[in-house]
Amino acid sequence: EPLLERFYHMLGRYGVGLQTISPGKRWSERDTVLITYADMVQGEEGTPLAAFRKLCAERLKGAISTIHLLPFFPWSSDDGFSVIDFREVEQSYGNWEDIRALGSEFTLMFDLVLNHCSVQSSWFKDYVSGVEPAANYFVEAEPELDLSAVVRPRSSPLLAPIETRSGERHLWTTFSDDQVDLNWRCPDLLFEFLDIIMLYLSMGCRILRLDAVAFLWKEVGTDCLHRPQTHEVIKLLRDFLDVVAPETVLLTETNVPHEENVSYFGKGDEAHLVYQFSLPPLLLHGLLEGSSRHLTEWASQLAPPPKGCSYLNFTASHDGIGVRPLEGILSPDEVRQLATKVEGRGGHVSMRSGTEGEDVPYELNVTYFDALAEPGDDALTEARFRCSQAVALAMQGIPAVYFHSLTGTRNDHEGVKDTGRARSINRRKWQDSELRSLLDDAESLPARVFEWYSRALRHRSACCAFHPDAPQAIHDFGPELFVLERTALDDSQTILCLFNFTSGIIPVADQGHLAELFPDGCTRDLLGGSELDLPADGLELRPYQALWLVAR
């Protein structure tokens, strides 16, 4: 009861919760998320956020609806995910006014980094000094405890010794000794984060991404992953948002095998959105192998999400390409072979310890463009990359596009050398003048990819069959092709999407299905924007060609 009373007194903070907006339709075919760092584009004058807003407003209106700003708060490590102050904007990026200005042009997604914070935060300093309430904000553990069952994505020590006013304590550090885990058993911490959420909502946040949420609840003797209490915290946050801002969408970030990942839908009462984590590595494997077999099998078995929920489909993000989501889909040998191919294309492979203590691939660090490179054949590389992106845009759900996919960015080896971190290979920052110069040069790779991508996104946004809730059917036309069909919720439009996964010319095996969908043979390719009359002797696809066919 005291907690409910405390919640009641929060209503109206930052002007949030006084007038709630009915969620109505949460999403449509017009929704596409752009994933970016706040300082992805840096101008000679003004703030990076202002330069980025100007570029997006000029070149991406109608193609992108939502911008996911990766953590833009003061930070000490992990490129923003070791947060020093959750309520401030990192000065070198800009300020809250810049965020609001961006929010006037696009819908915004913010990260809620709720598993840990920086050792440089005021919370941690208060903990060390024994100051309430932060004295209870962190997870202590005795080093003698058996914590061998704990699952982690890092090889650094799980516990870090800290000198406090009360003597030495050992604190839980899942990700690094600069990122100290937070104690979600503490009611004061919960209300701290509820207040932070309300601040974010007041600044234009409409999608809230729960970073690394699978690790949230610590319980000695367990793997500390996906604990029931973690799911209860997510339900609580969902209930909270339903009261103060029901139009807000909750997204969980859990880079784990598919069945574990989709558990965060709950019964439709937890996350509205989960990432489709198996898609990026599965798509990469299929295109490099020249076979859609595994992708077709996996996609045909995908259960539709619960009512009111959807998938976020992506190929690349600020992180590497996680391969744990391939467990149960590809064999360990196939995963190792994929890792070897990525290394051969200039990428890096991050390892973790397997059940027997052996090193197994955990994450592929490479730009998605270079991951698909065909050495010595730039045209084939570009066609293969476009095919990969066209698949992700066609799948049921909401597309999420990393900024470097829009520009066909190559591996940033200098960045890796400068930071010593493999993930820097896909985190290049653009100078505004250089990027604009490249985008204005029609012959440059960034311009070609950007023009194709933005056009594909605009065409997609005009098709009701690409509504996130519109069903999809997967067809098996043989291992060379990946084929899916999307049908509008009101049956007013059907789109047949065909993708050649090989470097050869491939005939479409099931001409009967084409004749059934397009009896007069008159179609339009939505990707190319051109009319296409189906040949009497059968349709063939060029190497890595992607078609989105609709009757005209």
Q: What share of the chain is helix, strand, coil (3-state, %, to 5)?
A: 35, 20, 45
Residue 330 DSSP symbol: B
- The CA-atom distances, in angstroms, between 303 and each of 299, 315, 471 are 9, 20, 11
- So which residues are the catalytic ones? 211
Instruction: Please name the helix (run of DSSP H) or strand (run of DSSP E) that holds residue 162, with its range, or none.
Output: strand 159-164
Q: Which residues contact 65 (CB under 8 A, 6 or more apart)?
A: 30, 31, 32, 33, 106, 107, 461
* Maximal C-alpha separation, the chain: 83
Phi, psi for residue 14 in degrees, rounded to 5? 55, 20
Is the bond leading into 133 cis (omega within 30 degrees of zero)?
yes
**Cα angle value 42/43/47 (rounded, 5°):** 80
d(CA 253, CA 71): 14
As a whole number of angstroms, the distance between CA 436 and CA 143 comes to 54
- Distance, in Å, from the CA atom of 350 to the CA atom of 151, rounded to the nearest integer, reads 16
CA dihedral 97, 100, 101, 104 (to 10 degrees): -160
What are the start-end ranges of the E strands in 13-166?
A: 33-36, 41-42, 66-69, 107-112, 116-118, 159-164
Q: Which candidate, 428, 266, 150, 166, places its Cα nearest to that of 158?
A: 150
Are 464 and 493 contacting, i.e. CB atoms less than 8 angstroms apart?
A: yes
Q: Where are the beta strands (DSSP E) in 216-335?
A: 249-252, 273-275, 310-313, 321-322
φ and ψ of 499, to 5 deg: -135, 125
Query: How many residues belong to the chain?
Result: 552
3-state SS assignment for residue 181: strand
